[in-house]
Amino acid sequence: MRTLLALLGVIFLSVLSSAQIQPQLNLMPMPSSVQQGSGQLPINESFSATVTGTHDASLDNGVQRFTRNLSRITGIPFRASASGTPTLEVHSDHGRGAVQKLEEDESYELTVTGSGAKITAPTPLGALHGLQTFLQLAQITPTGFAVPAVTIKDQPRFPWRGMLIDVSRHFIPIDVLKRNLDGMEAVKMNVMHWHLSDDQGFRAESKKFPKLTGMGSEGKFYTQEEIRDLLAYAHDRGIRVIPEFDTPGHSRSWFVGYPELASNPGPFTVENENGASSVTDPTREETYKFMDKFVEEMGKLFPDQFFHIGGDEVDPKYWDSNPKIQAFKEAHAMKTDADLQAYYNQRLEKILARHHKTMVGWDEILHPDLPKDIVVQSWRGQQSLAAAAQQGYRGLLSYGYYLDLMWPTSRHYATDPMSGAAANLTPEQKKLILGGESCQWAEWVTPENIDSHIWPRNAAIAERLWSPQDVTDVNSMYTRMHAISFELEALGLTHRSARDQMLQRMAGGADITALRVLADVVEPVKDYNRWSDEEKGPINFHAPLTHLIDAVYPESDAARQFANLVQQFAQSGYKDRTLEGQIRGWLTLWRDNDAKLRPLLQSSYLLEEDIPLSQNLAMLGSAGLQALDYLGKGQPEPELWKTQQLAVIDQAKKPVAGLLLMVTAPVQQLVEASAGQTQQK
């Protein structure tokens, strides 16, 4: 046995030296200033936190919540009755108002030494952010949980760092929203933009107009009590909630109960298949009476200063085909439908102003007749943001932050509100750009998979909006996002774990190991390509979202890692045998996976469509392995073989069941490298 042990020892030592785990600060968003010290503060059962400075109930709650979360992350049950010097002091100079404002100071300083930690901030908001930083710093070490000694000075780059959640296309229950608010708090986002109405459903209870949800929600809506509960939950976490009631377009759900608001006769339903569509009729005085009462009620329910009226994508055909509306335009000397929408928005803006609200709307609301205090949210790009700023309007960027487009994180991360046309603004104009919002449009999400569509990618967008503009290193971003992703799951999000649940459903009781191998290397098609399939017709919002495309992560870690491996291998002139061994391991796994997976794919109606995908992966594995063989021999492969392989690769590039194999390009690189080499022997 001694011999064996000695032998094994050699293996261990060699691995150790190459894979030693380095402590690093896995913070996201990255603070504006981080100065690492020496030593670390242990987090053990005697940990406690205390609040000093101005007393503030919301900060007290925040510290309690923080302690609970630290306990969840470390698994250590801190005692409520801890005595002695507190480990962490949290100090805020001032308290908080009942309604959070846009321009509040969110800065904080965090100092950690081997013997204690202190967060100081001018406001409870800053202190709450500091607590999140502390939480992210807590890491496991060989001697216990600890926070490394550090001095951090931090404040946000933009005051408006939001996420839009569409709850109309698919209803998202309160508990799911709450866990996403927890996630937003963790990454220091401070606005939840609640897209509460759209064609497919009106989700906020109105007591004055009960038919809005009574007829326009299929019974899936939030009561006012639930809304107040959510608002308090968000407020506790330093998050403002902006309601959006989209009008005059995207508003079929209003017309189900109140067809008189529409520009053409109904009847209307919230189902795509039946019922006409329409837009609001801006020519009837009754419309404005309705909106006045509605804004009064909702303005009280939602205390935030800002109120989003949508205003996007108004289909002109409903106005153009109504002779009364055309006559109105003529009588008021309006030339275009844009003029008519501007008229509507002006009237709406006056109603909002009467109820002390500031209007926010999408690009299309921008019109010189509107007052300068409105805010324009750009889904079109920095160009329209810059145009608004040049006219003196405040703006928010959402272009580039659409989570539903299934982009890789790096692409969101590269989108900066101040880039492109906005880069050329004057300093004064730049100040008008308040920040941005990621957007989770809900055509393809359910309560089950929405977390994975948002997280962890949203953390990188949060960093873009919080951290200094020069924080742009993509590798660092991925490393830190990976760590934060686990933190977010520990806090209760399900963006990683839901996939297994969904795969298990597809597999019945069968083993899902081979299914995971396939799921790991695919991504859903990008942009609107899932949607734009003419053959399929309009989206059925009642269809189950239970296919592989609904379960997989928007971005494949394995594919990114494999591409990096092949890149490194290329840089070694295809000589590094360790890298080759790793690449060979992946390719072999993929080549052999289809045989294991096939019976399962054939047994499940949810998986049958993925058979060609699994087959393509197997062929890619084979192609890559053969390319490695040729590379190893230093022989170019035969021309016929190369032609065959490139045909295989071309086939593997085509989406199957809405899914893309993300390892196609690196395999192609191997095949081409092998073909390109000259005879060496």
Catalytic residue IDs: 313
What's the burial of 46, exposed, middle or buried (CB within 10 Å: 0-12/13-18/19+)? middle
Contacts 24+ apart (CB under 8 A), 171-175: 171/201, 171/203, 171/217, 171/220, 171/221, 172/442, 172/445, 172/447, 172/450, 173/447, 174/222, 174/226, 174/229, 174/230
User: The tokens 């692409």 sit on which residue?
Assistant: 411
Distance between CA atoms of 245 and 298, rounded to whole angstroms?
A: 10
Which residue has 């893309």 as its token pair?
660
- Closest distance of CB 651 from a copy of itself, Å: 7
Q: Round to whole Å and give the CA distance between 569 and 674.
A: 12
DSSP 8-state assignment for residue 656: B
Closest distance to a copy of itself from the beta carbon of 494 (Å): 9
| DSSP SS3 for 396 | strand
At its nearest, how many Å lie between a copy of itself and the CB of residue 230?
A: 19
Pairing of strands 108-113, 144-154: antiparallel
Smallest distance, a copy of itself to C-beta of residue 134, A: 16
Nearer to a copy of itself, 323 or 538 (CB): 538
Assess contact for 373 and 361: CB atoms under 8 A.
Answer: no
User: Minimal CA–CA distance to 441: which of 172, 155, 674?
Assistant: 172
Nearest distance, CB of residue 178 and a copy of itself, angstroms: 14
Contacts for 485 with CB less than 8 Å, ≥ 6 apart: 455, 456, 459, 495, 496
User: Are 295 and 357 within 8 A, CB to CB?
Assistant: yes
| Nearer Cβ to a copy of itself (279/620) | 620
Q: Before 259, cis peptide (omega within 30)?
A: no
Q: How far is the CB of 173 from a copy of itself (least distance, A)?
A: 12
DSSP, residue by residue, 260-314:
GGBSS-----S-SSSS----B-TT-HHHHHHHHHHHHHHHHHS-SSEEE------
Structure tokens at 666: 């690196």
Give the three-state DSSP class for 641.
helix
From the CB of 633, what's the least distance to a copy of itself, in Å? 20
Q: What interhelical angle do 513-520 and 611-633 show, nearest 10?
A: 70
Long-range contacts of 643-647 (CB under 8 A, 24+ apart): 645/671, 646/671
Tokens of 136: 């992210």
Rounded CA gap, 331 and 623, in Å?
70
- Residue 441: DSSP 8-state: -
Of 140 and 174, the one with the shorter C-beta distance to a copy of itself is: 140
Of 144 and 371, nearer to a copy of itself (C-beta) is 144
Specify the residue, 19 or 333, whose C-beta has the smaller distance to a copy of itself: 19
- Strands 433-440 vs 160-166: parallel, antiparallel or unpaired: parallel
Q: What distance in Å separates the CA atoms of residue 583 and residue 640, rounded to the nearest whole number?
A: 24
Nearest residue (CB) to a copy of itself, 500 versus 576: 500
Output the smallest distance, CB 447 to a copy of itself, in A: 10
Least distance in Å: CB of 105 to a copy of itself? 32
**Which residue stretches of 88-241 are H helix?**
124-137, 174-186, 211-216, 224-236
21 versus 331: smaller Cβ distance to a copy of itself:
21
- Nearest distance from C-beta of residue 515 to a copy of itself, angstroms: 13
Pick from 393, 351, 340, 397: nearest CA to 370: 393
170 token code pair: 């698919």
Report yes or no: 434 and 488 within 8 Å, Cβ to Cβ: no
- Minimal distance, residue 491 CB to a copy of itself, in Å: 11
CB 600 within 8 A of CB 510: yes
Min. distance of Cβ 66 from a copy of itself in angstroms?
Answer: 17
Q: What is the C-alpha separation between 417 and 412, in angstroms, rounded?
A: 11
Q: Are 132 and 237 in contact (CB under 8 A)?
A: no
- Residue closer to a copy of itself, measured from CB, 391 or 644: 644
Please identify, using beta-carbon distances, which residue of 353 and 563 lies nearer to a copy of itself: 563
Q: State the nearest-atom distance from the C-beta of 584 to a copy of itself, in Å.
A: 15
Supply the angle between the helices 639-653 and 611-633 in degrees, to the nearest 10.
150
Whether 198 contacts 246, CB under 8 Å: yes
3-state secondary structure of 526: coil
Element (H, E) at 439: strand 433-440
Residues in the chain: 681
Closer to a copy of itself by Cβ: residue 296 or 443: 443
Query: Would you give the DSSP letter of residue 524?
Result: E
